[in-house]
Structure 1
């Protein structure tokens, strides 16, 4: 019996190739999107789950005036002493870049870290060489990831080889580990032993926070709440009541680091679980769209096959046999679609890293859990797409079916097919609106006024002989302006406490602290609202006069910029005099509100050069700068970064979401277009004689097109009424995650419905014009 069902299904598909093609392509696109989204969501929700002790591993974070994922290096030794029951206590110190050298070959590497000997016992790395218990015990030792080991030494054994770090440390390779999985908050290409820098980093100061991370593993039977309850006493014992009054240490579960939105200054930006669940919802609506396509086409096709059903019933076929036949056809089509979907996903996975910022290995497709989920998708698709058409076809009455008077099921006077078309249009419009909102927010991030000039400005390290470098840059005809500073406006590396008891601000707040030269404000075009600009001061001058932003003076209770000039406050415990006030500028991403900022002159802290380039001959100018810099720093590699590129990196996750929306919205639109194309094609076949009669009676091609289009216009409008509030609610909730965001205006909704109209018009017009151009003689002869 089953063989018979599939034989008939196979013959039916061969007879109706266009119908089969549209259904298979729609289902394949839907299934491929679902499988891909499942892999992405699975990757996100299993962050750091590769560690066997993940459920009892915590990162110790600090909370003073804001949430900071880093703590002082003074915390770890004290924690080991006061909490001896802790299974592991490990320090990790992240560094953004380093220069390495093997023989005469130099490399500029991003992301490495210092870690103590306990670190390999906290995290379950896959060790290819070396002993995890001893690899990081001794000073001047390093553990490489597999990619870096292969890059440096090819197929040779890396153990025992020497790597020179930043021209001042010779490191011996003591281990090689597999590359980190993509779903971990850790980011590094190699690990240097903590002992290498321990003496330089040791500090008793609680507030000396310099990017150090602290991890603790608790015994299985020790409740985290018991440890948390003892932390305030731990702070009082080691640093006194004054620190305990203003500060707290928090225990952040390892599995929650990737999702904790309170910490926005860590190595990788956290991602909200709502966004991940929203992506899973996108998968649901895409497969629903594909199934709606199938149902619409199948029910429309059922009218054409009504005589076949009538004959089968007249010959004694039972309803369950007819249901089985339709489900057999559906299973065959879904099976073909699944094969195509898996091929498409396999081909796309190499593009997932650059497009979606995620690394998924194709081998995951054959993991038991993934196979089970794919099977679930396939079975659900067969049932969603096949059951309703099966019951519609099997429910035809033989006499009516043979007279070709079969009708469609309806609810409240509206056919089910129309309701499904409305749902499909609504889903498409929601996806289009979502894509437009994300695109507008990305434009707001990257192109709206940030309070400073970022065009054609390039930054790089000062290196050695800064004064000579300045002179060479001034002599370069392609350089328009130069500034030396601790950091540019969009780089935030130094923070300090500030207060002003005499102005009524007794509690400390956090201020961003930038040491800049006299060219900083004019080059970046910061708006000086009151007072005087930065001036060059002599070395050792202890009188600290500063330029502050509007946020700082508002925090001091001063509303008028001019009134702030000459006021004093305490900066890192030292007196500071306000010399000028600049307009607020965006020094951090727009995830956070602008914080208080201080600019002051201090040439001993100038680590970064910023150069505004003339638009002519940019490449030649950069080549000349690189040549001059390299001559002054022959042992180092020149690395530069355009400011606008640095700003774009702050929104890498938003760019990923935008790419995901574009990809999956495109898939939803294509699926919807395929379904609409198929429906209009079947409509044209079913109304062949009607079109012929209308043409004989003088109907024009335009009137035939209107005849076919009129019904879909109303369906689109009804879908928009449903889609607009749903899209607004969902995207407005997403925008609330940012301190600064766009307002969703009517233009976005207007564009969305116009795009839908254009897609539908092109699809409907093609088939309706084709039907209208058929010779009416042939139309009236057709059966």
Structure 2
């Protein structure tokens, strides 16, 4: 019997190829998108879960004026003495480096120093070497598989030597598999902590250089009990250091690091769980849209099959059998769609890293939880898409069906179908508004109100001979402006406490310190609001004369830039006099408020060159700069970064989600268009006689097209009324994650409704024009 159901289903689908193709395409797209989104969500929510001790592992973080994932190198050794029950590991990630292997050189993005306890706390897949001793001795290194292949191809890397930063000769003692994409740990290789331990400050509480401390507690040891002892631990070891400023140590659970938005200054930027759940919501919208397509098309198709059902009932078919027949057709469609969707997913997954910056292995498709989730999705899809059409079709009255056919308004099908179209358009407009708002916020991140010029500016190291380099840059015809500094506006690496008892600010705050040359403000177009610009003078006075930003004078309680000139405050114990005030500029991401900033001239800290290129010959100029730089620094490799790329890197996680929302929203809209196209096609077939009569009576082609379009315009407007408040509420909540964000204006909603109208109009017009152009004699004769 079941075999017969599928045989009839196959014949029916082959007889209605267009209907079957539209349904299979829509379902396949929906299922493929859902599977990919499920894999992305599973990947994101599973950050660092694969470690055996994940539930017992914590990162020690610092909370002073803000939350800092790093703490002083002094913490780890003292913590080991005070809390012997915990496993403690020192980890120190570094960005940028140079590796030399024989006569070849390689630029590094990220590597790290780690002690021998690191591999006891975290699980890595070791391909070679002893995890217990690989990082025990100085000048040893553990490579990831891809790094080992890059340096030594297919040769055995164990025992080989690489040189790091022209300083350390490192012996390879281990090889591990490349890290999975869902970990906050990011490194190319690990150098033993013993290599640099003697060269770092392990005594001062506030000597924070980017190092991190991880601990693994015994299973029966509650983290709250350890955290409660931390204030006494800090007081005991660093009472003098924290006398002027409160410093708290906190325990951050390993599994929460990826989602904790309080900690922003780290290589792997955190992401809110709400954004991930929002992406899961998009998957629900997509599969719902695909199911609505199926129900609408199946219900409309049932009108054509009224006589078939009437004959079957007259010949003795039971309603249960008719329901099973329709469910068989639905199951066949869904199964074919599943096969196509899985093939599409397998072809797409290798590109997820390029498109979404998320690496997902094809093997993830065959994991138990993925197979289970796919079965649940398939069953729900079959039930959602098949049950209603099955009950409607099986409920036809045989006499009525055979005598006059089934009308479009029978059993409320027309009302339900219009309601489903409204739901579909509502989903489309919610996703469209969401995508437009995220896109506007991304543009705001990268281009609006950053307070400095970033166009055509490239940054790189000043190298070993900065004075010679500066002259060569000035002589280069492709260079417009040049400035040397401790870092460009979007780079921050130096902070200090400041206060002003005489202005009533007795509590310390944190200021960023930028050490720049006399060209810095003019090249970056940082606006001077009052006072004097940076000059090429090193003051030897007891009181230093420096330039500050607007935020700093507001923190001091000064009402205007003009009134700030000559006012005094302290950076640590150093007295400072304000000689100039500049407009605020964005040195960190817009996730948090702009902090106070001090700008001073100090050539001893000029580590980065910034160059504004002439746009007409940027490639040639860069090649010329690389040639000059390499000649001055023969032991190093030239590496540069455009300022706009640096700014974009601050919003990597948001850009991932923007690309995902944009892609999957497009898929949802495409599925909706497929369904709309199919629905109009069926309507055109059902109204062939009416169209023929109207044409005979003098109706024009545009008039007939408007007849079709009008039926959907008011549905789109109702959908907009439903979608607009939902989209506004959801996106307003998302925008609250950022200290600076756009305001949701009416233009976004207007653009959304216009776009939806255009998309729907194009979709409807194609098929309605085709129907309107049909020869009325032929249509009336066939009817």
Report the equivalent of 2:200: 201
C-alpha deviation, 1:77, in angstroms: 0.6
Report the equivalent of 1:469: 469
- Contact 1:409–1:416, Cα closer than 8 Å, also in 2: no
Report the equivalent of 1:427: 427
Report the equivalent of 2:59: 59
C-alpha deviation, 1:247, in angstroms: 1.1
Question: Aligned equivalents of 2:411 and 2:463: distance in 1?
Answer: 76
- Contact 2:461–2:609, Cα closer than 8 Å, also in 1: yes
Report the equivalent of 1:588: 588
What secondary structure, in the 3-state scheme, does the structure 1 residue paired with 2:586 have?
coil
C-alpha deviation, 1:495, in angstroms: 0.9
Deviating more after overlay: 24-33 vs 756-765: 756-765
Report the equivalent of 2:72: 72
Question: Aligned equivalents of 1:564 and 1:699: distance in 2?
Answer: 77
Q: Deviations over 1:312-340 (max 9, x none)?
A: 11111111111100000000000110011
Report the equivalent of 2:521: 521
Q: Deviations over 1:480-539 (max 9, x none)?
A: 221111011111111111111111111111111111111111111111111111122349
- Contact 2:500–2:556, Cα closer than 8 Å, also in 1: yes
What secondary structure, in the 3-state scheme, does the structure 2 residue paired with 1:246 have?
coil
Question: Aligned equivalents of 1:753 and 1:628: distance in 2?
Answer: 55
Question: Aligned equivalents of 1:417 and 1:573: distance in 2?
Answer: 75
- Contact 1:28–1:341, Cα closer than 8 Å, also in 2: yes
Q: Deviations over 1:415-466 (max 9, x none)?
A: 1111001100111111111111111111111121311111121111011111
C-alpha deviation, 1:615, in angstroms: 2.6
What secondary structure, in the 3-state scheme, does the structure 2 residue paired with 1:243 have?
coil
Question: Aligned equivalents of 1:320 and 1:63: distance in 2?
Answer: 67
What secondary structure, in the 3-state scheme, does the structure 2 residue paired with 1:226 have?
helix
C-alpha deviation, 1:237, in angstroms: 0.6
- Contact 1:22–1:675, Cα closer than 8 Å, also in 2: yes
Question: Aligned equivalents of 1:241 and 1:250: distance in 2?
Answer: 20
In structure 1, the gaps of 5 or more residues are none
Length, aligned pairs only: 782
What secondary structure, in the 3-state scheme, does the structure 2 residue paired with 1:30 have?
helix
1:689 aligns with 2:694: no
Question: Aligned equivalents of 1:620 and 1:290: distance in 2?
Answer: 51
Output aligned runs, 1:713-728, within 5 Å. Answer: 713-728=713-728
- Contact 1:59–1:215, Cα closer than 8 Å, also in 2: yes
Question: Aligned equivalents of 2:278 and 2:616: distance in 1?
Answer: 46
Question: Aligned equivalents of 1:242 and 1:604: distance in 2?
Answer: 27
What secondary structure, in the 3-state scheme, does the structure 2 residue paired with 1:598 have?
strand
C-alpha deviation, 1:203, in angstroms: 2.5
C-alpha deviation, 1:616, in angstroms: 3.3
TM-score computed with the length of structure 1 as normaliser: 0.98
Question: Aligned equivalents of 2:97 and 2:497: distance in 1?
Answer: 30
Report the equivalent of 2:609: 609
Question: Aligned equivalents of 2:102 and 2:542: distance in 1?
Answer: 45
CA RMSD in angstroms, aligned pairs only: 1.4
- Contact 1:456–1:642, Cα closer than 8 Å, also in 2: yes
Question: Aligned equivalents of 1:689 and 1:732: distance in 2?
Answer: 50
Deviating more after overlay: 400-409 vs 648-657: 400-409
Q: Deviations over 1:690-724 (max 9, x none)?
A: 11111111111112112111111111111111111
Report the equivalent of 2:496: 496
- Contact 1:544–1:600, Cα closer than 8 Å, also in 2: no
Report the equivalent of 2:175: 176
Question: Aligned equivalents of 2:540 and 2:135: distance in 1?
Answer: 41
Output aligned runs, 1:8-157, within 5 Å. Answer: 8-86=8-86, 88-157=87-156
- Contact 2:105–2:637, Cα closer than 8 Å, also in 1: yes
Report the equivalent of 2:547: 547
Q: Residues 361 and 59 of structure 1: is their aligned pair in 2 closer, same or farther, counting only changes over 3 Å?
A: same
Report the equivalent of 1:220: 219
C-alpha deviation, 1:477, in angstroms: 2.0
Output aligned runs, 1:273-284, within 5 Å. Answer: 273-284=273-284
Question: Aligned equivalents of 2:413 and 2:170: distance in 1?
Answer: 79
Question: Aligned equivalents of 1:729 and 1:411: distance in 2?
Answer: 36
Deviating more after overlay: 666-675 vs 241-250: 241-250
Question: Aligned equivalents of 1:253 and 1:651: distance in 2?
Answer: 24
- Contact 2:539–2:545, Cα closer than 8 Å, also in 1: no
Question: Aligned equivalents of 1:411 and 1:165: distance in 2?
Answer: 77
C-alpha deviation, 1:758, in angstroms: 1.0
Question: Aligned equivalents of 1:507 and 1:539: distance in 2?
Answer: 27
- Contact 2:584–2:594, Cα closer than 8 Å, also in 1: yes
- Contact 1:392–1:408, Cα closer than 8 Å, also in 2: no
C-alpha deviation, 1:413, in angstroms: 9.9
C-alpha deviation, 1:354, in angstroms: 1.4
C-alpha deviation, 1:405, in angstroms: 4.3
C-alpha deviation, 1:544, in angstroms: 2.1
Report the equivalent of 1:167: 166
- Contact 1:306–1:404, Cα closer than 8 Å, also in 2: no
- Contact 2:68–2:263, Cα closer than 8 Å, also in 1: yes
Question: Aligned equivalents of 1:706 and 1:49: distance in 2?
Answer: 57
TM-score computed with the length of structure 2 as normaliser: 0.98
Q: Deviations over 1:41-92 (max 9, x none)?
A: 0000000011010001000000011000000000001100011111x10010
Q: Deviations over 1:660-704 (max 9, x none)?
A: 121111101110111011101100111111111111111111121
Report the equivalent of 2:345: 345
What secondary structure, in the 3-state scheme, does the structure 2 residue paired with 1:616 have?
helix
Question: Aligned equivalents of 2:412 and 2:733: distance in 1?
Answer: 34
What secondary structure, in the 3-state scheme, does the structure 1 residue paired with 2:158 have?
coil
Question: Aligned equivalents of 2:533 and 2:501: distance in 1?
Answer: 26
Report the equivalent of 2:261: 261
Deviating more after overlay: 649-658 vs 739-748: 649-658
C-alpha deviation, 1:617, in angstroms: 2.0
What secondary structure, in the 3-state scheme, does the structure 1 residue paired with 2:616 have?
coil
Output aligned runs, 1:444-463, within 5 Å. Answer: 444-463=444-463
Question: Aligned equivalents of 1:381 and 1:410: distance in 2?
Answer: 25
Report the equivalent of 1:158: 157
C-alpha deviation, 1:573, in angstroms: 2.4
Deviating more after overlay: 609-618 vs 548-557: 609-618
Question: Aligned equivalents of 1:506 and 1:411: distance in 2?
Answer: 77
C-alpha deviation, 1:254, in angstroms: 0.1
Question: Aligned equivalents of 2:72 and 2:192: distance in 1?
Answer: 18
Q: Residues 412 and 381 of structure 1: is their aligned pair in 2 closer, same or farther, counting only changes over 3 Å?
A: closer
Report the equivalent of 1:703: 703
What secondary structure, in the 3-state scheme, does the structure 1 residue paired with 2:95 have?
strand
- Contact 2:293–2:675, Cα closer than 8 Å, also in 1: yes
Question: Aligned equivalents of 2:638 and 2:472: distance in 1?
Answer: 15
Question: Aligned equivalents of 2:512 and 2:411: distance in 1?
Answer: 63
C-alpha deviation, 1:478, in angstroms: 1.9
In structure 2, the gaps of 5 or more residues are none
C-alpha deviation, 1:619, in angstroms: 2.0
Report the equivalent of 1:329: 329
C-alpha deviation, 1:281, in angstroms: 0.4
What secondary structure, in the 3-state scheme, does the structure 2 residue paired with 1:324 have?
helix
C-alpha deviation, 1:620, in angstroms: 2.1
